[in-house]
Structure 1
Amino acid sequence: MSLYLEAQNHDSTFSLYKRKTVCNIVYDDKGSSLDSIVAYLLADDINLTTGVQPNVRIYNGEKALDTCILIGNLNSEFIQFFLNDTLENDFIRQRESYFKGVRASNYIIAGTDTRGTAYGVFSLSEEIGINPWCWWTDVLVQKQDSITIIQPDYYSKEPSITYRGIFLNDEDWGLQPWAAKTFEKETGDIGPKTYAKIFELLLRLKANTIWPAMHPSTKAFFHYSDNPKMAEQYHILIGSSHAEPMLRNNVDEWDSSLGRFDYKTNKETVFNYWEQRVKQAQNIEGIYTMGMRGIHDSGMEGVKTIKEGAEVLNSVISDQRMLLSKYHTDTIANIPQAFTVYKEVLKLYDYGIELPEDITIVWTDDNYGYIRRLSDLEEQQRAGGAGVYYHISYWGRPHDYLWLSTTPPYLIAEEMLKAYQMNARKMWILNVGDIKPAAYDIQLFMDMAYNPKSFFEDGYTKEHQSNFFKKIFGEKIGDEITKIKDTYYHLAYERKPEYMGWSQTEPTTQVNATAYNPYNFGDEVQHRLAAYNQLASRSDNLFKIIPNNLKDAYFQMVHYSVKGAMFMNQKQLYRDLAEKYNKAGRLEAYHYKNKSIASYDSIVALTNQFNTEISNGKWNGIMSMSPRNLPVFQKPTIDLIEASDFDIGGYQIEGNHNEGTIMPTFYKGFNDSYYIDVFLKNEGQLTWSLKHVPRYLKVSKKSGVLNSNRKDYSERIWLEIDWSITNKSILKKDSFILRLGDRKIPISIKKSEYSDVDCKECFFEKNGFAVAYASSFKDATIANGLAWNVLDGLGYSGKVVQAGSFNKSPLDSISIEQNHPKLSYTFYTETIDTSKIIIAALPTHPLTKHHKVRIGVQWDNTPVQIVNFETYGRSNEWKENVLRNLAIREVPVAIKAKGKHQLNIYMIDEGVALDFIYLKTSNTDTPYSLLEETNFFNK
């Protein structure tokens, strides 16, 4: 296969590989260490795609070179001699940018600085088919018969975010044991060999910053002298987490013999501890975390009040800056410094500490993907700018999510684009945990940090994900992977696999029953199980047809996560069914107990496959199925009670937890179907049948036999109405007989009709609920330069309506009806009573310190009620919002007449993102999962 790298209006051609001959690579002898590193890495990349290893050498001053790739700094004598061009000053002044072009039969890659050169080299690697994740996910490369570059001069853009990188965190369960026991046995830890591969990945992703691993399982980054040397060679900036000031690792480096980590009572020791590191790192390119917290992820020691904490923090920052000035030749304003307002530090910042203008404020998410706050207009003027520290992996309350990467790309895009619009453009750091299996989310984050502008286009986030997988697996398979991943993210958005135990941590609680209802709403448990089974089946089918040389990559990036999520859901939901059915006396409880345990065993086998079978054991130890050994990961313990009921069988009608005699109401035009379960309570045989079934009632089966010897423990009978053959007595109550052995149970049928109502935009009340998705508004108005924006891919409904744009003050809460953008919905009710509106939104936080998370809600012509979704600290409400990925508010409303009613929702605070709306008119349970809309126009 021949590869031609083309662009329009080409003016030059370069033959990289032809007739088994490959070009040489020449780099500047006066260049940086990274020039040499990327030159040899490029040679390896070319070898992967051609089978021929290029010769790499240092430039020795010769005046004529032919058919070589020349690598160096744009301003070097070496590059300038062959380039012989005058480039625009605007480009030359750009950070981390690169030029690519053909001159005198040579291909020149030249950066405005060292990292710019590296980015240029790796951009060529990508163009010839080397994926940035080639090593980390074993993406094998397609061989080429020839490679010809045809392109005009290329000038890259400057990266949009200054410092872009990752935080290696919670590495105890994957990265550290893998490095220690498999990849870097000579160190027995995450050492220079491992960091070299991480730094290479960062450069391939056009990133530049590392916050090193810092848990107790890992020695401090500076413990191994070759670690900082490796960072220096790769020109990666070293930073440290929000809890690790001055490039220190307190967990490993603060010895108890040093006393308390307390700047009030042990100032001299703490100061000397910092001074040692600043002196050691004075020639290292770093970003200094300023301020002080506790030893690890805890509040500052030795202070009792916010006022006292702020005073100590002012003293700390002043002394830290004195150290930087003492050991660095650059001016203090030019030394990168970050102040991360994480957890309790936000309160200290708000109290009013004296934070120098040149220090970058790094805002944080709430550890679960929702940014806690961003800069207001005044803060945006700070010389140090602002940044964001964001999580796609987390250890802590209310529950960890360290196992599978499930943060939806659409949420990452929504939050980080919001940050970009609010001028948080100095530093973006992503907490990636163990790196695997988060490849795509990391790629997305770094691509956005490099150039977010394309992501503002409608549909681009989805296109980006699709392109990522198509480049690796080809057009057809890549398209199917994108669909699989979209469904995977959507299911996990409703409840992450790690949260399926309905347990919490810090303090750790035991596994509880889930909130999915197996007795109502079409059986939420079976709906979720079926969705995961279908998803995993698609992944299984795709795995079978994927070429053998790409199966390992697919397993790491897609298949393990999909199957692992399915098995975890099965384990917990089958456990639910075992316990709930056991209480109902259903014999099949024992069947589901066995299925729950089998699902656990499947996770064990799947994880063993990851660690020992794929890629010939290359990743042994990288994947743990039970990070921190939390209860949700453990083998299920299910204690069942022997049946005390002497009946051979029983039944259950949808909507009834016990035996009942009334079906839910069928509504004409909605194609409703409801079920009756018949089941065994004891060993034996049960004959069942439906008698006197009305002609218009369609049933999936009218009779059957349950037999425990055949393991036929239950049968689900689906019922729906064929409205085409009903007569004028449509609203008349009807019934039929359910026979269970000798028992005869009359079952009532209720019917209702809205089809003659002239209301195309209405959401109709059905069995106690009227359901509207926020994006299905009848009307949306614009006011005060603000509008409601529909965002795809988010929320339970898959499409939310967000209050925007940004960088404005919140609207007032007085003249709401006249001056605020409005969303309108029409509901049609059959109930006259006091009911409630349930409004669900993304669990976002106030945009700035001036904002809240408010909307105005108006039912018919009643006064507007102010609703605020804001949560505080780590309250129980915030924890629940995190675990269910939803914020909910209820508004009581009076329904004074049957028929049409108007719901208006008014904008007050930017950033509020509405998901769905329920009008609830009964005292029945509210489902955990999302109900279908009760309208006709989307049918």
Structure 2
Amino acid sequence: MFSGRRIALCFAVQELKAQLRGSQLWTFLGSFVHDDLPGVIRVANDLAVDFGEVLGTNATVVKADWKSTASSKLFRPVIIIGTVGRSTLIDGLVASKKLDTTALASKWESFSYQVIRNPWDGQGAAFVISGSDLRGSVFGAYDVAEKIEGPPSVKYRRIFLNDESPGLTSWGHAKFKDSQYSSPFITDFYKRIFELVLRMKGNHVWPAMWSSMFYLDDAKNGPTATEYGISMGTSHHEPMARVDKEQSRFLKGSWDWKSNKAGVQSFMQEGANRSKDWSTIYTLGMRGSGDAASATLTAAALEEVIAWQQSALTKALGKPLSQTPQAWVLYKYDNRGNIHRIPIGNEPNRSGGSRMYYHFDYVGDPQLPTAHFTALTWDRESFQAVDSTKAWLTDWGARQLGEAVAEATSNIMTTYGKLTARMKYKDLSRTPFYFNTVKLNNQEWVGFFEMVFHPVLAGKTIFEIYTKVAIGSKYVNEHRTSANQLAKEVQTAFSADSSITKRYRTLLNGKWDKILSQNHIGYNNWQEPGSQTLPKLSYTTSAAKNALMGVTAQGSTASFPTTAQIYTRDNGTYSYKITSSASYINITNSQGKLTAPGGPSDARSLITVDWASAPSGSSTATLTITNTDSPTAVATVTVPLENEAIPSDFKGHVEYASAVSIEAEHFSPPPASSPEYMIGHVLVYPFHTFTAASAVTLTVYLSPSENANPNSTNKYSFSVDGASLATVQPVPVGDGSKQPAGWAEAVIQNAYVSKQSLGRLEKGKHELRLWLLEPTMVVTKVVVDVGGLKSSLMGPPESVWVV
């Protein structure tokens, strides 16, 4: 069970055995008419409806204060929600010594739950939710639990509606009325966003801004955010609570501090004046127009800009600058998830602190990643264990879809994330390299399809398109007639993609219609393609005369089991037969008939070796593939063999296909006698080679992390067979104006691939020791190439591991 899980609706309080069952609904009693905040009244109604969703009948909400309530007799248990210092009910219970809220004093967004007997004469019991502030009361109502909750791990937890067009914008146009500026993002839309953010325990929102103006699209947007307890802000290039589209509509003159200082100042001052009564975190600084670089904004100019902005805030808000939340948002990473720089030394202790602006999700279904990261920022202590994310996923699956499918859901989404991280969908236009059933009712199935099955099914279809395009190109070079069939299958998958999207958009009578309207096939850069574009398909025509049979073989020395593929190179039918020169070579599908068109036009034969009968040392055998309908059509395949015994005391990975490939987690602990035994940061990889080679290469696959610590670059050290340590810096130091050399390849491959020469290695047992010298580094695989290793996206599959 995930340790950070919270109970959403509690029906039994252990301390006083106060039970809620059957028709005994609790009454919600809120003192919010005159002395608490509208946001608390709103959340009381939300919680009353929530109880109705579970119990069948909504709870009753009664608005009252301490004076009127103390003389009433409601006869049933009540739930009281209130903010300390704002609710006379809460304060009255404190004054009468019935309620203790000292643990909430001066706390940020904190809340407590207590069951008390006889809150006033004639009232038997009350379940009291006390909040230290507005959001504390709101979070307490949304997260009923049986203990005092401390402050969240991260103070401001922002959701940014970024890149909202076309998906969210098109959906918004279909569901809400447009503003006078043709934006669908009005108060009715944002109420739902604010409620969702609060339910996930967020508290800060950057609004949609591509074609929208939050404060102008609906005059109620600003005050509604404050009523809900949401702090608003604007993105990194939109200072002083004014969005980009306001510049093009209302700024007098150009967006240039040097040539139009007065115009820019007036524009910014209006943003502060307009938002002064609402909860706002003000973005400071300045960028060029449209988030572009500026030719005139020097460091000195930026200092002047920020100094003026802070004086403008003091003037507009009428309070000390130290009481006004501000943020200067410097771009944070490479848009691929790799951080440019982390805070160092005493930087987090500055008055402004140090925070991280990080996109955890750009395009795609955001439900799962948003839920995960808000849970992480709320209580990071729950994510300390190595398997905490897996445990959280299982818990998420249980809450969303039920315990019966929780583990399966976790496994599906873990595998999905791993596969999509290897090659992003938008990079698939480059040449890329157990099904089980579940029983769910209709309501559960909709949620399962939206959050689990759709991303997997749609993702599988995209990979199918690009993978079959790449394989088809290879088949054309081999003159396989099945290349034409693959082209048809790509077209079928392309059509299936549209059907999958339509299926999503028509769920629940079109509730999410148009939300998946973004084009996603045909990427060649970060921007979405203008249309759904099918990749270039490859076809083959007739082969040379008398060339009906085609044969390819896979593998190299010691790479068994391996395969031979027999196929048609023209329309027609022929029979084939495979024979071996050695009795210890075993062949599946050793004979058959192939036909094109209509098929099957391809056959795959698995080749294995009876090593006990094979000769020791190096040898070869020959496979003969014959077109039995045309005996002169013969192909031969030479099978090289290496049959060398592995020492009985060896434990580790052994050479396979001219290389030793090891997944990083399959290391061996250093022996107790080793000087590194107590240090614990060395990774030890024993390996065995069958080949003596004079130009051996070590390849280390590392996560594409950048040199985020300006005082210490990413480095690793290694040693083979006790040789002197070699230290490597895989990522060059950049000058800050551009990405380091090799970055473009690394982020597509999702790895920096570091190759180092080991010189000569004799055949036999060896040991690699690897040290990662920075905490930002992650190793995923190591490969020792003894000669002839072919290039591939993720390196060769893992070699045999003898344990």
Common topology (TM > 0.5): yes
Give the aligned residue type for 2:190: Y
1:26 and 2:30 aligned = yes
**Percent of counterpart pairs with the same letter?**
21
Between the aligned partners of 2:251 and 2:64, the Cα distance in structure 1 is 53
Corresponding residue of 1:372: 340
Give the aligned residue type for 1:718: L
C-alpha displacement of 1:678: 0.7
1:933 and 2:793 aligned = no
**5 Å matches for 1:385-400?**
385-394=353-362
Match of 2:541 among 642, 664, 678: 642
Is 2:693–2:787's contact at 8 Å kept on the other side of the alignment? no
Match of 2:152 among 159, 181, 185: 159
RMSD: 2.6
Give the aligned residue type for 1:838: T
Between the aligned partners of 1:850 and 1:709, the Cα distance in structure 2 is 64
Is 1:697–1:719's contact at 8 Å kept on the other side of the alignment? yes
Corresponding residue of 1:583: 477
C-alpha displacement of 1:749: 2.2
Corresponding residue of 2:83: 73
Corresponding residue of 1:809: none
1:772 and 2:623 aligned = no
Shift of the 313–110 alpha-carbon distance from structure 1 to 2, 3 Å rule, reads same
Corresponding residue of 1:747: 637
1:734 and 2:621 aligned = yes
Give the aligned residue type for 2:421: Y
1:461 and 2:467 aligned = no
Corresponding residue of 1:322: 311
Shift of the 340–653 alpha-carbon distance from structure 1 to 2, 3 Å rule, reads same
Give the aligned residue type for 1:237: S
C-alpha displacement of 1:727: 5.0
Corresponding residue of 1:508: none
- DSSP 3-state at the match of 1:760: coil
Between the aligned partners of 1:831 and 1:852, the Cα distance in structure 2 is 35
Q: Deviations over 1:746-783 (max 9, x none)?
A: 32222223433245234322222111222223345999
Is 1:237–1:287's contact at 8 Å kept on the other side of the alignment? yes
1:573 and 2:434 aligned = no
Corresponding residue of 2:703: 842
C-alpha displacement of 1:616: 1.3
Between the aligned partners of 2:802 and 2:253, the Cα distance in structure 1 is 69
Shift of the 547–640 alpha-carbon distance from structure 1 to 2, 3 Å rule, reads same
Give the aligned residue type for 2:534: K
Between the aligned partners of 2:396 and 2:251, the Cα distance in structure 1 is 51
Match of 1:689 among 552, 577, 582: 577
Match of 2:746 among 881, 897, 905: 881
1:823 and 2:683 aligned = yes
Between the aligned partners of 1:603 and 1:640, the Cα distance in structure 2 is 22
Is 1:97–1:158's contact at 8 Å kept on the other side of the alignment? yes
- DSSP 3-state at the match of 1:717: strand
C-alpha displacement of 1:645: 2.1
Is 1:25–1:56's contact at 8 Å kept on the other side of the alignment? yes
Corresponding residue of 1:179: 172
Corresponding residue of 1:206: 201
1:700 and 2:578 aligned = no
Shift of the 700–905 alpha-carbon distance from structure 1 to 2, 3 Å rule, reads same
Between the aligned partners of 1:24 and 1:926, the Cα distance in structure 2 is 66
Between the aligned partners of 2:700 and 2:244, the Cα distance in structure 1 is 44
Between the aligned partners of 1:631 and 1:752, the Cα distance in structure 2 is 54
**Which runs of no fewer than 5 residues in structure 1 stay unpaired?**
128-150, 304-308, 343-363, 395-401, 405-436, 503-513, 517-533, 656-662, 789-820
C-alpha displacement of 1:699: 1.9
Match of 1:618 among 511, 521, 527: 511
Corresponding residue of 2:601: 713
Between the aligned partners of 1:617 and 1:645, the Cα distance in structure 2 is 55
Corresponding residue of 1:547: 441
C-alpha displacement of 1:594: 0.7
Higher-Rg member (1/2): 2
1:676 and 2:593 aligned = no
Q: Deviations over 1:695-718 (max 9, x none)?
A: 322222110110114322111111
- DSSP 3-state at the match of 1:258: coil
Between the aligned partners of 2:754 and 2:558, the Cα distance in structure 1 is 29
Match of 1:501 among 392, 405, 429: 429
Match of 1:722 among 596, 610, 616: 610
Between the aligned partners of 1:333 and 1:21, the Cα distance in structure 2 is 47
Is 1:213–1:221's contact at 8 Å kept on the other side of the alignment? no
Match of 2:139 among 105, 119, 131: 119
Corresponding residue of 1:41: 46
Between the aligned partners of 1:590 and 1:625, the Cα distance in structure 2 is 30
Corresponding residue of 1:339: 328
Give the aligned residue type for 1:664: S
Between the aligned partners of 1:50 and 1:558, the Cα distance in structure 2 is 27
C-alpha displacement of 1:840: 0.6
TM-score (norm 1): 0.77
Is 1:27–1:35's contact at 8 Å kept on the other side of the alignment? no
Is 2:32–2:38's contact at 8 Å kept on the other side of the alignment? no
Give the aligned residue type for 1:71: I
C-alpha displacement of 1:874: 3.2
1:760 and 2:653 aligned = no
- DSSP 3-state at the match of 1:893: strand
Q: Deviations over 1:54-97 (max 9, x none)?
A: 22231152313532221111233221223544636443221111
Match of 1:295 among 278, 281, 289: 289
Is 2:697–2:784's contact at 8 Å kept on the other side of the alignment? yes
Between the aligned partners of 1:691 and 1:390, the Cα distance in structure 2 is 60
C-alpha displacement of 1:692: 3.8
Corresponding residue of 2:453: 559
**5 Å matches for 1:108-507?**
108-124=128-144, 154-184=147-177, 188-216=183-211, 218-255=212-249, 258-303=252-297, 309-342=298-331, 364-394=332-362, 402=363, 404=364, 437-502=365-430
Shift of the 874–457 alpha-carbon distance from structure 1 to 2, 3 Å rule, reads same
- DSSP 3-state at the match of 1:828: strand
Q: Deviations over 1:90-145 (max 9, x none)?
A: 43221111121222322211101000000011113xx7xxxxxxxxxxxxxxxxxx
Match of 1:62 among 47, 66, 69: 69
Between the aligned partners of 1:883 and 1:578, the Cα distance in structure 2 is 22
Is 1:159–1:451's contact at 8 Å kept on the other side of the alignment? yes
Shift of the 245–110 alpha-carbon distance from structure 1 to 2, 3 Å rule, reads same
Between the aligned partners of 1:833 and 1:631, the Cα distance in structure 2 is 52
